Structure 1
Amino acid sequence: MASNVTPVTKDEIDKCFSKTTNLASSGLNSTVLACSDEYFAAASNLLTPGPPIHKPGYFVHTGAWYDGWETRRHNPAEYDWALVKLGVGSGIIEGIEIDTAYFVGNYGENVVVEGAYLPAADPEAASSEQEMISDSYSKWETVLPIQPCGPSMRQAWRLLKPTGPPLTHIRVRMYPDGGFSRLRLYGHALPPSLAATQDQSPPIEELSSALMGGLALSASNQHFTPISNLLLPGRGKDMGDGWETARSRERGHVDWAIVKLGLPGSAVKVVVDTKDFRGNFPRAIRVDSIDWKEDENSEPPFDHAGWTELVKGEQACKADTEHVYEGENLAAGNHITHAKLTMIPDGGVKRFRIFGHRATKA
């Protein structure tokens, strides 16, 4: 595992990790399995999408309310800990952020992050997860060596060598006690392998899903909410977990977003979901695709000549609706690596899903 890290300033965090996914998010089905203590505030708050919120002067039974994980004072042990199971099958981590927003006189002063690989298919997975809770578990590898944390601030570290083996579980150690508001693990989800089968057609999978390694790359505008929400599982809970742009005023304006499929392949169905967008859904949409053969670290420009229609023509949209395009509405069959969603002229979309067959390696 990587032992060398470099700090990332708070002003550079979003830019530095803009081409990654926060794997430590409840929006990606990550969960806290256990923790040493959460007397003042639940450890599950570490995984809440979006920035922490502040309610000064608001008190609950245990004391002041905090949007984060806070343990009681005078910890008799060396540190407090929280055990996180990633919602993706496994992932590679490139950077780690600890946000102590609004924790001032009660923040955790140091942090260590450890990782382990325990695939769900392992017949001993359940018992091994129980063992992880105890000090007898010996398979933790240090991902982030001990680092100082400051009061009410974002602090992050880039791994000079991203974690080699994939990870499924993370343990956060907070020294000696106190509070962290958010844990963010910036990296890439690894799609699960398909079991070898004979005489069976390849299954239809959600090629674009963040759970499969899908990645939102760029957009014309992300004024209200980011394009990364487009690839989350489920239909979400409200307008805040979709992609919404500012209102346009120029004639002929359109907004666009480009995503990289986690599983390149051939599409058989496209879904554009406007759930919760009622007075601000796009008038229409277009969906294009491309088989990008350039350097894998590059991305296709939005105006590249290689974009071709995936959904045939411009399609009118409705409020709060899953728009499904398949069959004769879809130019299916071609191998694709990236997709572009264009909103006409602007507005909001909750989810953008591309289903199909993953490409088989030669």
Structure 2
Amino acid sequence: MAPTITRIPSSDIDTVFARTTNLASSALNARILSKSDDFFASADNLLNPKPPVYKPDLFVETGKWYDGWETRRHNPEPYDWVVIKLGVSGARIRGVEVDTAYFTGNYGEKAALEGVYAPGGSGGSLKDEDIADKGFTGWKTILPPQECGPSQRQAWKIEGEGDGPYTHVRLLMYPDGGFARLRLYGEVIPPPPGIGAADGLEELSSALMGGVAVGASDEHYTPASNLLLPGRGVDMSDGWETARSRAKDHVDWAIIRLGLRGTVSRLVVDTKDFKGNFPREVRVHGFVGDPGAVDPRHDDPGWIEILQGSRKTQAHTEHVFEGGDLSPDAAGKVFSHVKLTLVPDGGVKRLRVFGRRA
């Protein structure tokens, strides 16, 4: 059955896909396997999690510099293409965004997306090099060709074929030209038990496991979704930072829907790169919810203390809380959500919740 495609106005893209994960992000380990051409600008730029930038006076050896993927003129084939391996074990794709920011007389006129599920990756019967090959024929259409315009965000909501699951996608650009970013909005399918576990524990909150930020009091500088990224990042731009508060008793908070419901054994609150703007203290609570239930409000009476009391934080430090640091009220409970509270405000690089999946 053909997928149902709904075009989303650019002004509504962030709202419509607010509670999804951008799967086509190098921050989530997505990477380019192959491409037809990227003579003017590298296809790797498509996966940059940051917004495109424009440098009007910058020229390089091949011509004008662009923050995106740009191919040669006069493509003899119907389209240019790029094959991307997602950084997660599997994904459902709910929306596709193609951003043509700053491409005006050289943008790709149409975009389409195809996908395939090959969970074995390099070690399975279907290898990455097979999928990366120009002659690979196992693609399934996720998004049929759609019109694009110059220097604008355009997105389409997918119902049907987006359910996948998918591990690899191929972006088609008709006939040639430039796209600044590809963003794939969807849901991560967690890997089977034992994959990536350490000491019997798994990172229940990680975006790679399907963790999603579903609400925050303030995201003035950077989004709360950055809390769930793998690794420790590069600078303050890939953490969560709120505006300065002036009100008495102010706190900021972020609610995370865990990718894996489970019991909690260890918390990590990392303030790496936040040296003069880390929170004075932090609190962590959990919520016991049924699968598929509505996400709790920040003031829901059902929140249970996981971290025992408020804990002071330091600059540029990975704070580890386990054992006696955790509240006895949380013991044995299967949590669906956690809430990180900053007292009174500031920035945190990562929140990691380790435990055992239900």
Q: Is the 8 A contact 2:251 2:341 kept in 1?
A: yes
Aligned to 2:257: 260
| Paired AA for residue 320 in structure 2 | V
Per-residue displacement from partner, 1:253-309 (whole Å, max 9, x unpaired)?
Answer: 00000001001100110000000000100000000111023x725111101111111
Q: How many residues align?
A: 353
Q: Is the 8 A contact 1:219 1:257 kept in 2?
A: yes
Aligned to 2:108: 108
In structure 2, the residue corresponding to 1:170 is in which secondary structure?
A: strand
Aligned to 1:326: 322
Do the aligned partners of residues 132 and 232 (structure 1) sit closer, same or farther apart at CA in structure 2, a change above 3 Å counting? same
Do the aligned partners of residues 49 and 97 (structure 1) sit closer, same or farther apart at CA in structure 2, a change above 3 Å counting? same
Equivalent position to 2:224, from 227, 236, 242: 227
Q: TM-score, normalised to structure 1's length? A: 0.94
Aligned to 2:136: 137
In structure 2, the residue corresponding to 1:12 is in which secondary structure?
A: helix
Aligned to 2:211: 214
| Overall identity of the aligned pairs, in % | 55
Confirm whether residue 63 of structure 1 aligns to residue 59 of structure 2: no
In structure 2, the residue corresponding to 1:354 is in which secondary structure?
A: strand
Q: Is the 8 A contact 2:122 2:128 kept in 1?
A: no
Confirm whether residue 78 of structure 1 aligns to residue 75 of structure 2: no
| Paired AA for residue 285 in structure 1 | V
- What is the CA distance between 1:130 and its match in structure 2? 2.0
Aligned to 2:39: 39
Q: Is the 8 A contact 1:202 1:357 kept in 2?
A: no
Q: Is the 8 A contact 2:282 2:313 kept in 1?
A: yes
Per-residue displacement from partner, 1:169-192 (whole Å, max 9, x unpaired)?
Answer: 000010110000000000000101
Q: Is the 8 A contact 2:194 2:200 kept in 1?
A: no
Per-residue displacement from partner, 1:204-231 (whole Å, max 9, x unpaired)?
Answer: 1000000000010000000000000000
Q: Name structure 2 gaps, 5 residues minimum.
A: none
Q: Is the 8 A contact 1:3 1:144 kept in 2?
A: yes
- What is the CA distance between 1:69 and its match in structure 2? 0.3
Per-residue displacement from partner, 1:92-123 (whole Å, max 9, x unpaired)?
Answer: 00000000000001000001100000013674
Q: Is the 8 A contact 1:283 1:344 kept in 2?
A: yes
- What is the CA distance between 1:54 and its match in structure 2? 0.8
- What is the CA distance between 1:313 and its match in structure 2? 0.5
Confirm whether residue 18 of structure 1 aligns to residue 15 of structure 2: no
Per-residue displacement from partner, 1:117-154 (whole Å, max 9, x unpaired)?
Answer: 001367445x6322323343221000000101000000
Whole-angstrom distance in 2 between the partners of 1:141 and 1:297: 31
Whole-angstrom distance in 1 between the partners of 2:343 and 2:134: 56
Do the aligned partners of residues 40 and 354 (structure 1) sit closer, same or farther apart at CA in structure 2, a change above 3 Å counting? same
| Paired AA for residue 243 in structure 1 | W
Aligned to 1:148: 147
Q: Is the 8 A contact 1:268 1:333 kept in 2?
A: no
Whole-angstrom distance in 1 between the partners of 2:175 and 2:335: 50
Aligned to 1:241: 238
- What is the CA distance between 1:50 and its match in structure 2? 1.8
Q: Is the 8 A contact 2:72 2:176 kept in 1?
A: yes
Confirm whether residue 273 of structure 1 aligns to residue 270 of structure 2: yes
Q: Is the 8 A contact 2:34 2:133 kept in 1?
A: no
Whole-angstrom distance in 1 between the partners of 2:69 and 2:27: 18
Per-residue displacement from partner, 1:219-254 (whole Å, max 9, x unpaired)?
Answer: 000000000000000000000000000000101000
Tell which deviates more after alignment, 324-333 or 230-239. 324-333
Aligned to 2:355: 356
Aligned to 1:292: 289
Q: TM-score, normalised to structure 2's length? A: 0.95
Per-residue displacement from partner, 1:5-57 (whole Å, max 9, x unpaired)?
Answer: 01000000000000100000000000011101111110010000021011111
Whole-angstrom distance in 1 between the partners of 2:353 and 2:163: 29
Q: Is the 8 A contact 1:275 1:320 kept in 2?
A: yes
Tell which deviates more after alignment, 296-305 or 116-125. 116-125
- What is the CA distance between 1:165 and its match in structure 2? 2.8
